[in-house]
Amino acid sequence: MGPPPLDSLRRSYCQAVAPEGNRKQMTVPMSVQENIRTLDSHGIAGREIARRLGVSRDSVTKYTGGQDYSPKPPTPVPRPTGSVLTGFEDTMELWLGQDQRRPRKQRHTAQRGE
């Protein structure tokens, strides 16, 4: 996949920079910043990018050397580990201890009575 066509890049920049005639903006629009990064990722030299897009070499250096400001994906939250019974161990130990002193048919068991 090669670099984007020059005409579309220049046309989008010229429309963004001078919508009211010859008056230029002080900042480079986001679309041009993306084009600078795209051309840089294709290995095109900074001077060539500046010439193609009609921006200064300083602007090209600024936007190719900058950090990536796109939002970071959220980090997954670890699920709590352990058993469903976590926190109830003391209560269960108390019940089982009390069951030892009760008659056989009144004890807590995991089996159904026959």
pLDDT digits (tens, 9 = 90+) for 18-55: 455 555 556 888 889 889 989 998 999 999 999 999 99
User: Is residue 4's pLDDT more than 70?
Assistant: no
* Helix or strand (DSSP H, E) at 38: helix 30-41
Give the rounded distance of the alpha carbon of 78 from its chain centre: 17
Q: How far is CA 72 from CA 24, 68, 80, 81, in A?
A: 33, 10, 24, 26
C-alpha count within 13 angstroms, C-beta hemisphere, residue 106: 7
Average pLDDT score over the chain: 77
pLDDT in tens, 54-95: 999 998 998 888 776 677 888 888 877 777 888 888 998 888
The fold for domain 6-65 equals Arc Repressor Mutant, subunit A (1.10.10)
Which residue type is seen at 87?
A: G
- The ranges assigned to domains in the chain are 6-65
**Whether this model's pTM surpasses 0.85:** no
